[in-house]
Amino acid sequence: MQVSPAFVSSDDLYLFNTGQLFRAYRTFGAHPMEYGGSRGVRFVAWAPHAREVAVVGDFSDWGRGDRSRSLSLEQVGTTGVWVGFGPGLTEGARYKYEITGERGERVLKSDPFAFQCELRPHTASIVTSLEGYEWQDGDWMQRRKVHAPYDRPMLIYEVHLGSWRMDAAEQFRDYERLAYELVDYVCEMGYTHIEVLPLTEHPLDRSWGYQATGYYAATSRYGPADGLKKLVERAHQRGIGVLLDWVCGHFCKDEHGLRRFDGTPLFEHTDSRRAEKPLWGTLAFDYGKPQVLSFLLSNALFWLDVYHIDGLRVDAVASMLDLNFDKPESMRTVNRYGGTEDIEALHFLRKLNETVFLYYPESLMMAEDSSSYPAVTSPTYLGGLGFNYKWNMGWMNDMLRYMETDPADRSACHSLITFSMHYAYSENYVLPLSHDEVVHGKKSLLNKMPGSYEEKFANLRLFYGYWMTHPGKKLLFMGGEFGQFDEWKDAEGLDWGLLRYPLHDSMRRYVRELNRIYTRHPALWEGDHVPGGFEWIDVNNAEQCMLSFQRKARNRRGAVVAVCNFARTGYSSYRIGVASPGAYRLLLNSDLADYGGSGAAVPERVEALNIAMHGKPCSIEIPVPALSVLLWEPQEEATGAD
């Protein structure tokens, strides 16, 4: 059907081509509508170097045979944008773009803006409307605008939906079933957020979604789009935020995807040295093209707009910042100033955060960044990247290295568990124990721990206790809460059968109690980003592998004293300094028999005496079991919540 020049807004086309169309998904792609008195589907595609663009599908035998049945698109002036209207087409129609390149070569491409794709291994796009869902999460959406995340508890449960629970190979739970099973479990365990590995459509299960083809299509592995909306909605109804891993650093090379979309490097850089990501066998986006900026910025807002996602964890930021990240010498390049920073990527990341916070100031924008690039969580107007959180990869690497060391040798590497406090307030940090640490031969968290079977559990309980009381928000990958013994097997469900064994079930109950204590005691999260929220009591006892410190809430609203023993030697009497006299109540003992510990006696209440210790006017004398963490609360400051 012939279309008029007004079929697509000239303003939208201008904004798209200048990198300023922030809701491009409303213009581009396939949209059911009425035009010229007929119901059908409008198609809009960006292919500036194409000689011809057509839409093919079941309705045209995919361009085979009589080509007159294909829908030819028309280019709007010199904008590089092609448009057309297919009368009689309806939702559910499968389609692709047939693109003829400058030299006459034809290729079939999935729609970069498609809202739904076929289940792999099929690759067609599907005409889908995302309108009409009646959201029932209004209270949450209003409430999240009021409470800033910095002085709130944040316990994130990281999930790969396909392998959280699985009935059999490739028999995934669908979104709607997960809306009940997963959300109820997260609530039972006391988490505040779910973070989902990428849900953008991807061809290979084993990429876990990090190598995408359909950036606007929620993967069909787990059912239709409304099912994902139900999952997010029910999480919100239960008071749980939902975060999504978002991959804007690279995309896969599959023929039907973004690679050489119109016969030329379009979404990727024209310089192959800049485009190639040899570490992953993928291609980097070209952030210097304004249309690519419109595509990516719109995609970030799309997940917040359409699916009510509460924030994005931006993957592989370090690989975006450095032009030569993990590249051989032959592929190394420099920027226009002779340096190796990717100036266009830096501009994109700043623009990303400015755009998201313009429309959703309450969002969580988290950088998964292993680099030492400064000011990642500083505002862009101060020269920062503008994220509000950064994963603390340094803390994670140091702590895992320390915990994997046999307790007999830990005194020689004591600084690994104390160094993080030198930079703990340089950024707003999340302390991640993520999927990346339990795959590719790295072993599970439990199996990283040294010692006997029982000592592995004791070490992991101790590790979790220190992690929970260290400044910074928290993230734990699924299975860590019950001590998954094997590393994560992405093609199988978690080893839920382990809960039949006492130590694994005890670990799950311990983590649940630790989560409960964390969320109910403001001292453990109100001061995460200010130095006044943390104070060492004894930081230098390397010989005994002991640490003690205090977390403090604002306005004297509570305090928690933590005592961590990383050695195999326990003590029947150990004195530490405290700030005030009076009674101290035991909040947590990781060595309780109920948690799988030895059950060594530790009193529920001790009295602080006027005996100076560790620079404090008073002190308490307590037993400290081996490989344990004890948490104490001044009695007069008890919250009453327990």
The catalytic residues are 315, 368
Q: Which residues contact 4 (CB under 8 A, 6 or more apart)?
A: none
Strands 311-314, 241-246: pairing is: parallel
Q: What are phi and psi of 407, to 5 degrees?
A: -50, -30
The β-bridge relationship of strands 29-35 and 38-46 is antiparallel
Q: Please name which of 630, 468, 633, 470 lies closest in space to residue 557, comparing C-alpha atoms.
A: 633
Site of tokens 């249309």 = 291
Minimal CA–CA distance to 542: which of 389, 411, 380, 381?
411
Distance CA 622, CA 601 (A): 10
Distance of CA 599 to the CA centre of its chain: 37
Residue 442's nearest CA partner among 392, 497, 484, 481 is: 484
Whether 332 and 166 have beta carbons less than 8 Å apart is answered as: no
- 418: nearest Cα among 394, 442, 439: 394
Extract the runs of DSSP E, i.e. beta strands, from 516-615.
534-538, 546-552, 559-565, 571-578, 582-589, 605-608
CA 227 – CA 235 distance, rounded (Å)? 12
Q: Are 355 and 314 in contact (CB under 8 A)?
A: no
Cα distances from 251 to residues 83, 95, 99, 210, 283, in angstroms, run 25, 21, 20, 8, 5
Which tokens hold the place of 79? Answer: 């904008």
Task: Give the Cα separation of 184 and 479 in Å (integer).
Answer: 16
Q: Looking at residue 104, what DSSP letter applies?
A: S
**DSSP collapsed to 3 states, 145-186:** CCCCCCCCCCEEEEECHHHHCECCCCCECCHHHHHHHHHHHH
Please state, in angstroms and rounded to a whole number, the distance separating the CA atoms of residues 63 and 300: 33
One-letter amino acid at 430 equals: V
- DSSP secondary structure letter of residue 613: B
Contact 43, 71 (CB under 8 A): yes
Q: What share of the chain is helix, strand, coil (3-state, %, to 5)?
A: 35, 25, 45
Does the N-terminal peptide bond of residue 121 adopt cis geometry, omega within 30 degrees of 0?
Answer: yes
CA-nearest of 35, 46, 53, 47 to 89 is 35
Q: What is the CA radius of gyration of the chain?
A: 27
**Under DSSP, is residue 61 helix (H, G, I), strand (E, B) or coil?**
helix
